[in-house]
A and B are shown apart, each in its own frame.
Chain A
Amino acid sequence: MQTAPEFLRNYDFLSERETGDCPSVLCPADRVIEFVKELRDVHGYDMLVDLTAVDWDKESPRFMVICHFLSSQKHLYLRVAVNCPEDESPEVPSLAEIFPAADWHERECFDMFGIRFKDHPNLKRILMWDDYPYYPLRKEFPLAGIETPLPSAEIAEVTGTKVKPAPMMGGPFVAPAEGHVSESEPRARDESWTEDEPKPAKKIPETKRQ
């Protein structure tokens, strides 16, 4: 584990976060532009390696944007976490002006979590289609999906197909690592239930609280 660099003490709005690898700080959303600019210009963190988000489900603040910076001279990483002030319509400032690498990462965060990035040059969906009504990586969204119309109304009319929840019979589906190739089709680990026979209720052993 790297020790946190000294210069971070000069920024009193930062608070240190628990970490297992590189130093990690929490930065308020309204100071993040100012801080990241200084990281790049003064402290030599010249590369944005990753930008992603976390949905903390029922906790508040619910959404947290996480950025990883690298100093290619000092070979140091720094993780900066930013909490979104609002839970209903989360919004944080965009870093795309400072690091162009943030552009597509922020679009992905917007696509998957619905976090809006203020002053982003082109904030639209990047993986799902533009009209898709949900944010799939939010905690309340089921892995199988929710029924919606196909992206193209014309194709939907010709084929009569919709976006349907994927069948999860006994899933998730994995390919067994062993055995002959012809036997190693992806299959469900738990095949005791199907779409016709519902999933048996989980038997939770009673434990005494100590």
Chain B
Amino acid sequence: MNRQKETLAYNSKVEGEVIVTRSDAVINWIRQNSVWPMPMGLACCAIELMASAASKFDISRFGMEVMRFSPRQADCMIVAGTVTYKMAEVVRRIYDQMPDPKWVVAMGACASTGGMYRSYAVLQGVDQVVPVDVYISGCPPRPEALLDAMRKLQKKIGQENSTKNLLSPRETTAV
């Protein structure tokens, strides 16, 4: 029984100071546990976004509490709120300034589809200007929904071919 355990565990005496694993697993593990969100708060969803960072819901349990207001220091843009056509340009420019690899979460009905704003002024879904990884339903979504989406995003990051794509940047043109 004891012997079996030893063979399964990492043994520094036998293997030296070396750990063998796949590079994808290491890179993805690092990426998915240090997501730095860029809060693109545009409407009431941003209030729920703030709530999810506060003590009751505590997004830092998943390593995402480092909200960065500079796109150059962030790698996940959370679009929280109604994107007007006038603002769409700004959203895209901020997205362009984020370093690769980067992800986008469309939080709430407005960011996902235009929501209840079927009007001349509102962009009908932020996926028309930036590629979206995770959509969250709700008007506005509860903080738990945001946390769930961020966990899903972590899972998605975990499945990426990071090593293969290390030198070729991700496709960033919106569909």
Contact = CB atoms under 8 A, between A and B. Distances in A.
Contacts of A128: 86, 121
Contacts of A173: 115-118
A66 interface: no
A49 interface: no
A158 B92 contact: yes
A129 B118 contact: no
A186 B124 contact: no
Which size bracket describes the interface of B in this complex?
20 to 34
A167 B85 contact: no
Contacts of A142: 120
A151 B86 CA distance: 7
Interface string A129-162: 1000010100001111110001110010011110
A127 B85 CA distance: 11
A159 B142 CA distance: 31
Given A128-B86, A136-B121, A159-B173, A186 B116 contact: yes
A161 B129 contact: yes
A141 B118 contact: no
B146 to A, nearest CB: 14
A127 B121 contact: yes
A175 B110 CA distance: 12
A118 interface: no
Interface of B is mostly: loop
Interface residues of A, number: 35
B138 A167 contact: no
Contact of A129 (B85, B92, B139): B85
Contact of A168 (B86, B115, B118): B118
Contacts of A182: 138
Interface string B60-99: 0000000000000000000000000110110011000000
A155 B118 contact: no
A133 B128 CA distance: 22
Contacts of A163: 85, 120
A8 to B, nearest CB: 39
Contacts of B121: 127-128, 136, 145
Which residue, of A166, A167, A168, has the highest number of chain B Cβ atoms within 10 A? A166
A97 to B, nearest CB: 29
Contacts of B117: 166, 173
A186 B109 contact: yes
A82 B88 CA distance: 37
Nearest to B109: A186
B89 A144 contact: no
Nearest to A166: B118
8 contacts: A141-B120, A152-B92, A155-B88, A165-B120, A172-B116, A185-B138, A185-B139, A186-B139
Given A144-B118, A160-B174, 15 more contacts: A127-B121, A134-B120, A146-B120, A151-B86, A161-B88, A163-B120, A165-B120, A166-B117, A166-B122, A173-B116, A181-B138, A182-B138, A185-B109, A185-B138, A186-B115
